[in-house]
Amino acid sequence: MFKKKKITYMCLAVLALAVRGRCFAKEALFSGDQYSIQVEYNDAVAPGDAVFVRMIISRPKKLAQAKQEPCKGTLSLEGKSADFFEVPPRQGKKSNSDIYAELLACLPLPSDRRKPGETELTVAYSAFGADSRRFTLPLVIQKKDFLSETIPLNETNTAIRTDTSPKRLAQIDALNAIFSTTRADAVFQQGPFSPPTDATRRTAFFGDRRVYVYANGKSSTSEHYGIDYGVPRGTPVHASGAGRVVMAEDRITTGWSVVIEHLPGLYSLYYHMDSIAVKVNQTVKMGDEIGKSGATGLATGPHLHWEMRLNSVAVNPDFFTGDFAFFNK
């Protein structure tokens, strides 16, 4: 899905940087004796993907008993930023006594980011109470084309699509408030996600450009933010990853809907279900049944809509079915 890059920063002094070829393989070295930083990230993304940067911060064993201040940092890309949050060390890391913390930060690349080319990430961090420092990481944005489709709506779906009632607007505001919530301790999923159904038939794809033709002859355009699975009504729907249920209700546009929080700022969404089997604040494991598929809300037939949101931005669910944040490395 993407290339993983590993860069090792050996403490705090002179930076030696080598960039070789278009793959942006690089090595960086800080000489010093206070701490080291190993960085892993995906250095090539397409519109609709996300960038995940993992920092492993460690101190020499001789300083292991020294006073330990919190390590913190911020990841920035083209004017957008996100804070690093701590994640449990990967299997086998805990035995290394000089490991202090593993931090993760993530940023979405919106699907309407059309211009491919080279750019860079900026990491600003502070470790063990020291002054803030920063470094940059090269990033390639790849070209990606999306499908287009025209969808005629009957009178019922036209009414849903054009509904401006206070109830529908309140539902939209409530969902956006969830998307904009980032809890640093919300670390539930540690590994690749799985699709919410065993079905492989997809009737719509992430990023599809849509033209809705209304029953009155008018039309509007939008972007499809998830993946639609063409499954019969009553098909079991499973949680795509471990997390906490933050929404479970019937909505005007999306019908019976479930939203699950997986990581700080990362949510999965399941729409148009016939019934739901979970409640708000319930914790779930990957694969737990959360409901049955249906055709509620704005739907032209039975299907399951699966969506992922990162920092309020819709991202390609397929991105997360690989080792997106190097949890299993």
pLDDT tens, residue by residue, 244-285 = 999 999 999 999 999 999 999 999 999 999 999 999 999 999
Please, which contacts does 169-172 make with residues 24 or more away whose CB atoms are closer than 8 Å?
171/251, 171/252, 171/253
- Tell whether the model's pLDDT for residue 24 goes beyond 80: no
Q: Is the dihedral of CA 39, 187, 139, 121 positive or negative?
A: negative
Q: What is the pLDDT of residue 117?
A: 94
Q: Give the integer Cα–Cα distance in Å for 116 and 119.
A: 9
Do residues 8 and 28 touch, judged by C-beta distance below 8 A? yes
Residue bearing tokens 């979405």: 108
Please enumerate, as own/partner, the contacts of 23-29 that have beta carbons within 8 Å and a separation of 24 or more: 24/138, 24/139, 24/140, 26/138, 28/135
pLDDT tens digits, one per residue of 63-77: 655 556 778 999 999
Catalogue the long-range contacts made by 65-70 (C-beta closer than 8 Å, 24 or more residues apart): 66/128, 67/128, 67/129, 68/100, 68/128, 69/127, 69/128, 69/129
In this prediction, residue 109 carries a pLDDT of 95
The predicted pLDDT at position 211 comes to 96
CB 76 within 8 Å of CB 121: yes
Q: What would the two tokens of residue 203 be?
A: 């009737």
Tokens describing residue 254: 């999306």
* pLDDT attached to residue 10: 44
Contact (CB, 8 A) for 26 and 7 = yes
| Mean pLDDT score across all residues of the chain | 87
CA angle 328, 310, 220 (to 5 degrees): 135
Q: What is the pLDDT of residue 37?
A: 85
**Domains of the chain, CATH where assigned:** 4-141 (2.60.40.1930), 148-321 (2.70.70.10)
Residues with Cβ within 8 Å of residue 8, at least 6 apart in sequence: 27, 28, 29, 36, 37, 38, 39
Task: Report the percentage of the chain scoring pLDDT > 90.
Answer: 70
- Is the model's pLDDT at 192 over the cut of 60? yes
